[in-house]
Structure 1
Amino acid sequence: MRGVRRVSAVVVRPVVMGLLMASAGLLVPCSVARAHDGHHPEASATEAAPVLVQGAWIRATVPGQTATGGFMTLRAQRDLTLVGFRSPAAPHAELHEMAMDGDVMRMRAVAQLPLPAGKDVALRPGGHHLMLMGLTQALPAGQDVTLELLLKDAQGKTVVQSVKVPVSGKMPAPQPGGASDGAHMHHH
């Protein structure tokens, strides 16, 4: 596709990342990316992912459940806008937010979410989050789900970043050196 750049990233489970960091004595980034030239599929080059994905997880489901949420912290390397996402796990995927409407907490779809350069943007329970709807099968804890983040830059160019996200029954536990809210880890 002209004007679309694809990159891939791998999210390393916090426990594995902690072991790697402890054994190496340093912090290791959790994203690895490959850019693919749409005109030459065989050409690829390793580069930094446009968005650092931290503390990502998808809430586990039970058989018959048709929707679930995805959560993570995103830090863009340059000003970008999250305009959506997709996953082979569900035919419908939307960016949502939870907000108070009078005395009632309501969930609604949002068209986009700005990702200012160098700033953490949290997708978490009770706030902005990803919704996977029409699940084709249950998502048990321990499984990984591939998500493609759909991003736009200031010039309107689309970037698609692929991320593998672990499925968990609960929010990952805070890690030493993590953010004060315990929702994600920082890697420098």
Structure 2
Amino acid sequence: MKTTAIKSLAAIALCALAGAIPSAFAQDASLSVEDPWVRATVPSQHATGVFMRLTSAEPGRLVAVESQAAKHVEIHEMAMQDNVMKMRQVPGLDLPAGQAVELKPGGYHVMLIDLARQIEPGEHVALTLVVEDAQRRQRRVPVDAVARPLNAAAAPAAGHGH
């Protein structure tokens, strides 16, 4: 059994190196995801934020994020509007080649809305980033975000519509 599994893995690796099948490793190599984390929640909380630093080797755009942790996952921006900090959904986020893009409290971030359950500090939340390149080809990048306590970093500003 072990020999068969090793031979199968070797065959897959050889095919990937030869370009016979797309390699998830090669696709993920063009996007660096650093320090992904999600803010933990309290029992009655229905939404929370996800934060990370993204650096793309090529120009691209974050067009969606998916997660089983919530019914809705949206890319949001915090911005001043009429001297009030407001949060709004954006259709995507540009990823200039070689430039780090921060998803952080008070700025761009991902919102998990209508959570499936409470998220406790230390838990891992699986996400999938959907990134589009200049030719509009999409690739999916798996991310594991660790939940940090509610008081981690800056608290979100008022004005969120969910």
TM-score (norm 1): 0.66
Q: 1:117 aligns with which of 97, 102, 116?
A: 97
1 CA distance for matches of 2:32 and 2:23?
20
1:86-131 CA-to-partner distances (Å, cap 9, x unmatched) read 1010010000000001121100000011101110000011010000
- Please tell me the residue identity of whatever aligns with 2:42: V
Q: What is the total number of aligned residue pairs between the two structures?
A: 132
The equivalent of 1:60 in structure 2 is 40
Specify which structure has the higher proportion of helix.
2
Question: C-alpha displacement at 1:49, in angstroms?
Answer: 2.7
Listed as ranges, the gaps of 5+ residues in structure 2 are 1-15, 154-162
- Counterpart contact for 2:36–2:143, Cα < 8 Å: no
CA distance in 1, matches of 2:32, 2:46: 29
| Structure 2 match to 1:100 | 80
Deviations along 1:130-186, one digit per CA (max 9) or x if unpaired, are: 000000100000000011001101001011101111010114xxxxxxxxxxxxxxx
The alignment-based identity, stated in percent, is: 43
Supply the distance in 2 between the matched residues of 1:149 and 1:55 (Cα, whole angstroms).
Answer: 14
- Which stretches in structure 1 are left out of the alignment for 5+ residues? 1-34, 172-188
Q: Runs in 1 of length 4+ with deviation above 6 angstroms?
A: none
Q: Which residue of 1 aligns with 2:138?
A: 158
What is the TM-score when the length of structure 2 is the normalising length? 0.76
* Among candidates 123, 140, 148, match of residue 168 of structure 1: 148
Change (3 A) 1:137 1:44: same
Residue aligning to 2:160: none
Once the two structures are TM-superposed, the CA of residue 84 in structure 1 deviates from its matched residue by 1.2
1:145 is the counterpart of 2:125? yes
- Which one has a bigger Cα radius of gyration? 2
Give me the whole-angstrom Cα distance separating, in 2, the residues matched to 1:59 and 1:100: 22
* Paired amino acid for 1:128: Y
Structure-2 change in CA distance of 1:55 and 1:45 (3 Å): closer
1:84 maps to 2:102: no
Distance 1:70 1:105, change over 3 A: same
